[in-house]
A and B are shown apart, each in its own frame.
Chain A
Amino acid sequence: MLKAKNKLGLVFFPAFDWAISPTHPEREERLLYTQDQVFEEGIADIEGIKFYNPGIATEKDVERVHFCVPDVKTRVTQSHLISAGGAIKAAEAVMEKEVDKAFAIVRPPGHHAQRVVFGDRGFCIINIEAVMLENIRQRFGNKKVAIVDTDCHHGDGTQDIYWNDKDTLYISFHQDGRTLYPGTGFIDEFGGPSAIGYNINIPLPPETGEEGFLYVLDNLVMPILEEYKPDLIINSAGQDNHYTDPITNMKFTAYGYAELTQRLNPDIAVLEGGYSIEGALPYVNLGIILAMAGLDYSHVREPDYDPEKLKQSPEITEYIKKLCDKIYKRWLRREDIRRETIKNQQYILRHRSIYYDTDGIHETQIQRFKVCPNCSGVNTIQSRSDWGVEIFAISIPRDACKACIDEGYNLYNKIAEGKYYKVYLQDRVNDVFMSK
């Protein structure tokens, strides 16, 4: 019988009775063949691998991260709460030391869900990693965490949520935003005033292959992680960099994903996107499971794997080397860049325009961050959807000083009822959420 080197918790919840719509990529069938592969390989019989059912995230879990308009109940289905609950279950098993590592193979995904939620974008309504992480922080203390997002799309939701939080380093590899949804994730998106340098985007050219991904990991991501020294590494394990994915243009492989996972060595992985449900997901998920369990993944290969066809061009190799170099230099200069950006400003504004592709909503935002010498600073979002709804949200961060807490509550109390459709206050110091 096989024995895992690392005790691994698996939350495998394919939600076989839920779809966005019958022919949508995010449909019942998505993890069917992955389940077949996982069952056929006898993963459940490997000593040291334990399967868990997901829990169900609560409204409070969601409110630590999001401002759902008008409220959580209206926006979020049971399926979303279970997906986030699956991620929480995985993290909990690691935090309680029942297992060394955990992988939540759950759906729907979450990394496009931003702080304000008017609807579904990029198949996401709530950010399952963020809901997981804030639940864990609430129960196990304020961990220093790195989220490494290996989905092919830029995780603009996770970026927005942790924009101003330097205790959460967000690193995203993705296909260049000039060529793919959501069109963001450029290297100058570098973090909010209190966390400049702690949001690292690595926009890769189409056709990047195993060589490129592993180069980025070894030469950029790992050195940054070594300097950052996180307590926990979370992998947003999207699988759409695969060469068979129908909606992206990369050349990554199942073996490559396994190798990347082994080198990155995450504590927790959470499935994100990936819609090559027959040609990629069964093999990529298997590869990640084996790599996390510390088992041999050298036999994981797709049926049509052809190393010659999947080789990236020398131009791409060269481009990626230069890109990594440039990003790493920026990372080293982050303190200088922070000084240059902030100068003497007390508040920093950020204007944003957000499109909800799945629900066809357009949102405009003004985010306002207080530059506080004692904490990350209270911040606000004034947001309007093209359906004519305007809201105002105040967020008091986990490390807020007394002055910022007071400023947050004063703001909330001062706004007259009726001025906005909804006003929200998220107080992460006292774990309080209110709205009017």
Chain B
Amino acid sequence: MGGTHVDAVIIDRGNIIDVVKTPTDHTNLFGSIWETLNHLLKGKDISSISHINLSTTISTNAIVEGKTAPVGMIIESGPGVEPSFLACGSENIFITGYVDHRGREIKSFKPEEIQEAVSKFKEKNIKACAVVAKFSVRKPIHEIEICKLLEDKFSPVTMGHTLSGRLNFPRRVYTSYLNSAVYFVFKSFCESIKKAMKKENINVPVNVLKADGGTISLDAGQQYPVNTILSGPAASVMGALAFNPDEKDGVFLDIGGTTTDISFVADGVPLFEPFGIKIGNYNTLVRAIYSVSIGLGGDSAIHVENGEIKIGPHREGPPMAIGGLVPTPSDAMIVLGLLDFGNKERAISAMRDLGEKLQLDAKATAELIYEKMGDIIKQEVNNILEEINSRPVYTVKELLYGKKLKPKYISLIGGPAKALAPLLEREFNLPCYVPENYEVANAIGAALAKTTAEVTLLADTAEGKLSVPEMGIYEKIGKDFTIDKAEQRALELLRELASAIGTSDKEFEGEITEKSSFNMVRGFYTCGKNIRVRAQIKPGLLYKLN
């Protein structure tokens, strides 16, 4: 589901059976999805459906349009950065307890602080809450205890440590806030889906797409709806990946009317945001496919400033060929015969008018614009690549021999994709592919997406503790716990989590993405090991397209 269209596709293994595209009705997002699904399923054998994957903008829109529920925040910030900037809820209570970086409780919170929060939230008629503590992923005791005090009075109560095992307190605060803020709107969407399915007698698992290009079951997603934000670009990347399933580094460009979205694959796997995605002003811990949006598309406004062509970053209406008032790159490509729509005469006159300011004829102006578009894309991609390749590393080995992203191909989707492919091929000196059916790449990506999950395991043998915050697991371990055992345990737990959120055991394919083990020395003696392991379901697609 996108801003303008809802796309739907039926896929049988690697074969596309049918495709439907309908306009999005912003006043009724559920209705738009359901109508599209009805179109798609008309005359099909419903009993042969194995599952339905949905990518929806429901949570994203609620956040972007500010149509979220008021949230009461309880924030335990401990010592460190001055915390007042974290006030993101309708009411924000900062409390005094704290846990340190090793997960030791240094100071407990005061019950009267929670009482105060309860009465303030009630005063404002707040129903949704979130409780977030610094280092809660190391020891969630305060979040859990406070949640217990709130549970019978408020719903939902999001606990920070359940959303991600990663360290980043401000992001944990914002992510928890957003999760509670979109909870009701997403829940009512899920209920509508379930009701409609029941009515149509469709009884198969429904999964929703997440920003990391994987899915989660509708039920599990309902608890953590924040993970469904910004799944649209992720769906497109997964779709484009379905057409280019080799294990090389590549650039994915989705060139739309207003913007171009830039993503990457490394050895055939989509590149993720280092911490999590940003939505509005909020940095989050939501795992997401890395995607940068630049203000350049087929409909970008073109002006001449100081004798130079300037394209974008804004759209000021449709191309002049279809009645717009400002010339656009699409007009230029129509003049060059690379695009074929609208009134070519009007496109030519648009180029002629621009050209007068540059002392060029219409064709030369169109060529200049076309070339400039290639230049801008190339420069942006190279800048982003440089940034990605200089992401911080923390070991001598990574610094000296770490992987550097070197794209071997470009995959291009979107309206002007075919028109721009030869230009970009030349600019980058790399093969450019424009997949067939790219109009529904997002739907294909969503349909072929696998369930994804990640677990963060920390084992501290000096303290005799093992934690996996995402699963609420805090267990005792012995002195003899090793990194091998930690990896094994992480994969076991990942399998457990995967089956709880929608993966069949057969499909499960886990991998360790990070591992380290530190000798902990106090005085002159080794007192234990600090072991850190991260495991994930290997990202990718259920099937390749034939």
Residues of A within 8 A of B (CB): 1-2, 12-18, 22-23, 27-29, 32-33, 35-37, 39-45, 51-54, 56, 78-79, 82, 246, 278, 282-283, 286, 290, 295-296, 298-303
A52 to B390, CA, bound (A): 7
Instruction: Tell me whether B397 and A39 are in contact (CB under 8 A).
Output: no
CB-based nearest B residue for A33:
B101
Instruction: Tell me whether B170 and A45 are in contact (CB under 8 A).
Output: yes
A23 to B98, CA, bound (A): 30
Known: A2-B85, A23-B521, A33-B102. A40 touches B526 (CB 8 A): no
Instruction: Tell me whether A2 and B81 are in contact (CB under 8 A).
Output: yes
Instruction: Tell me whether A301 and B395 are in contact (CB under 8 A).
Output: no
Nearest 7 interchain pairs by C-beta: A42-B170, A296-B82, A39-B167, A301-B79, A40-B167, A17-B395, A36-B101
Chain A positions within 8 Å of B394 at CB level: 12-16, 35
Chain B positions within 8 Å of A246 at CB level: 523
Instruction: Tell me whether B189 is interfacial, beta carbon within 8 Å.
Output: no
Q: Which of A1, A32, A41, A45 contacts B80 (CB 8 A)?
A: A41
A16 to B530, CA, bound (A): 12
- Whole-angstrom distance between the Cβ of B75 and the nearest chain A Cβ: 13
A29 to B283, CA, bound (A): 29
CB-based nearest A residue for B136:
A40
Instruction: Tell me whether A295 and B81 are in contact (CB under 8 A).
Output: yes
Chain A positions within 8 Å of B85 at CB level: 1-2
Instruction: Tell me whether B102 and A29 are in contact (CB under 8 A).
Output: no
Instruction: Tell me whether A23 and B518 are in contact (CB under 8 A).
Output: no
- Whole-angstrom distance between the Cβ of A100 and the nearest chain B Cβ: 19
Instruction: Tell me whether B219 is interfacial, beta carbon within 8 Å.
Output: no
Q: Which of B170, B391, B392, B396 contacts A15 (CB 8 A)?
A: B396
Instruction: Tell me whether A40 and B82 are in contact (CB under 8 A).
Output: no
Instruction: Tell me whether A17 and B80 are in contact (CB under 8 A).
Output: no
Q: Which of A29, A54, A286 contacts B519 (CB 8 A)?
A: A29
Q: Which of A14, A27, A42, A51 contacts B81 (CB 8 A)?
A: A42
Q: Which of A36, A52, A303 contacts B106 (CB 8 A)?
A: A303
A246 to B83, CA, bound (A): 31
A39 to B532, CA, bound (A): 15
Q: Mark B296-323, 1 if CB is under 8 A from A, else 0.
A: 0000000000000000000000000000
- Whole-angstrom distance between the Cβ of B530 and the nearest chain A Cβ: 7
Q: Which of A29, A39, A45, A301 contacts B521 (CB 8 A)?
A: A29
Chain B positions within 8 Å of A301 at CB level: 79
CB-based nearest A residue for B519:
A22
A303 to B167, CA, bound (A): 19
A1 to B166, CA, bound (A): 19
CB-based nearest A residue for B397:
A17
Instruction: Tell me whether B135 is interfacial, beta carbon within 8 Å.
Output: yes
**Most-contacted residue by chain B among A16, A36, A41, A42 (CB, 10 A):** A42
Instruction: Tell me whether B15 is interfacial, beta carbon within 8 Å.
Output: no
- Residues of B within 8 Å of A, CB-based: how many? 44
Q: Which of B101, B397, B519 contacts A282 (CB 8 A)?
A: B101
Instruction: Tell me whether A37 and B169 are in contact (CB under 8 A).
Output: no
Known: A17-B397, A53-B399, A282-B101. A44 touches B275 (CB 8 A): yes
- Whole-angstrom distance between the Cβ of A267 and the nearest chain B Cβ: 22
A301 to B79, CA, bound (A): 6
Instruction: Tell me whether B518 and A42 are in contact (CB under 8 A).
Output: no
Instruction: Tell me whether B80 and A53 are in contact (CB under 8 A).
Output: no
Known: A28-B519, A299-B82. A15 touches B167 (CB 8 A): no
Instruction: Tell me whether B520 is interfacial, beta carbon within 8 Å.
Output: yes
Tell me the chain B residues, 389-418 only, with Cβ under 8 Å from chain A: 390-397, 399-400
What are 27 A-B interface contacts by the 8 Å CB criterion?
A2-B81, A12-B394, A13-B394, A13-B399, A16-B395, A16-B518, A17-B395, A17-B396, A23-B526, A28-B518, A32-B518, A32-B530, A33-B102, A35-B394, A40-B134, A40-B135, A45-B170, A51-B392, A52-B392, A54-B399, A78-B396, A278-B101, A286-B80, A299-B79, A300-B80, A303-B98, A303-B104
Instruction: Tell me whether A45 and B168 are in contact (CB under 8 A).
Output: yes
Instruction: Tell me whether A18 and B81 are in contact (CB under 8 A).
Output: no
**Most-contacted residue by chain B among A13, A41, A44, A51 (CB, 10 A):** A41
- Whole-angstrom distance between the Cβ of A122 and the nearest chain B Cβ: 18
Instruction: Tell me whether A303 and B100 are in contact (CB under 8 A).
Output: yes
Chain A positions within 8 Å of B134 at CB level: 40
Instruction: Tell me whether B101 and A37 are in contact (CB under 8 A).
Output: yes
Instruction: Tell me whether B281 and A53 are in contact (CB under 8 A).
Output: no
- Whole-angstrom distance between the Cβ of B25 and the nearest chain A Cβ: 34
Instruction: Tell me whether B80 and A37 are in contact (CB under 8 A).
Output: yes
- Whole-angstrom distance between the Cβ of B543 and the nearest chain A Cβ: 37
Residues of B within 8 A of A (CB): 77, 79-83, 85, 98, 100-102, 104, 106, 134-135, 166-171, 275, 281, 283, 390-397, 399-400, 516, 518-521, 523-526, 530
Instruction: Tell me whether B80 and A299 are in contact (CB under 8 A).
Output: yes
Give the A-B pair count, Cβ closer than 8 A: 119
Chain B positions within 8 Å of A53 at CB level: 390-393, 399
A115 to B397, CA, bound (A): 29
Chain B positions within 8 Å of A278 at CB level: 101-102
CB-based nearest A residue for B107:
A303
Instruction: Tell me whether A82 and B396 are in contact (CB under 8 A).
Output: yes
- Whole-angstrom distance between the Cβ of B77 and the nearest chain A Cβ: 8
Given contacts A33-B102, A35-B394, A295-B82, 20 further A-B contacts (CB under 8 A): A16-B394, A17-B395, A17-B396, A18-B396, A40-B134, A40-B135, A41-B81, A41-B170, A42-B170, A45-B283, A52-B392, A53-B390, A53-B391, A53-B399, A282-B101, A283-B79, A296-B81, A296-B82, A303-B79, A303-B104
Instruction: Tell me whether A40 and B168 are in contact (CB under 8 A).
Output: yes
A324 to B97, CA, bound (A): 41
A54 to B169, CA, bound (A): 26
Chain B positions within 8 Å of A23 at CB level: 519, 521, 524-526
Chain B positions within 8 Å of A40 at CB level: 80, 101, 134-135, 167-169
Chain B positions within 8 Å of A36 at CB level: 101, 167
A302 to B107, CA, bound (A): 12
A2 to B171, CA, bound (A): 12
Chain A positions within 8 Å of B166 at CB level: 39
Chain A positions within 8 Å of B106 at CB level: 303
- Whole-angstrom distance between the Cβ of A176 and the nearest chain B Cβ: 25
- Whole-angstrom distance between the Cβ of B517 and the nearest chain A Cβ: 9
- Whole-angstrom distance between the Cβ of A96 and the nearest chain B Cβ: 15
A2 to B396, CA, bound (A): 31
Instruction: Tell me whether A299 and B170 are in contact (CB under 8 A).
Output: no
CB-based nearest B residue for A40:
B167
A56 to B402, CA, bound (A): 14
Instruction: Tell me whether A42 and B168 are in contact (CB under 8 A).
Output: yes
Q: Which of B171, B400, B525, B530 contacts A42 (CB 8 A)?
A: B171
A2 to B87, CA, bound (A): 12
- Whole-angstrom distance between the Cβ of B534 and the nearest chain A Cβ: 13
Instruction: Tell me whether B81 and A39 are in contact (CB under 8 A).
Output: no
- Whole-angstrom distance between the Cβ of A383 and the nearest chain B Cβ: 30
A141 to B520, CA, bound (A): 44
- Whole-angstrom distance between the Cβ of B163 and the nearest chain A Cβ: 14
Instruction: Tell me whether A79 and B283 are in contact (CB under 8 A).
Output: no
Chain B positions within 8 Å of A43 at CB level: 81
A300 to B530, CA, bound (A): 25
CB-based nearest A residue for B278:
A45
- Whole-angstrom distance between the Cβ of A201 and the nearest chain B Cβ: 31
Instruction: Tell me whether B101 and A290 are in contact (CB under 8 A).
Output: no
Instruction: Tell me whether A42 and B169 are in contact (CB under 8 A).
Output: yes
A40 to B166, CA, bound (A): 8
A18 to B395, CA, bound (A): 8
Q: Which of A37, A45, A51, A299 contacts B171 (CB 8 A)?
A: A45
CB-based nearest A residue for B521:
A23
Known: A23-B524, A32-B530. A299 touches B81 (CB 8 A): yes
Chain A positions within 8 Å of B525 at CB level: 23
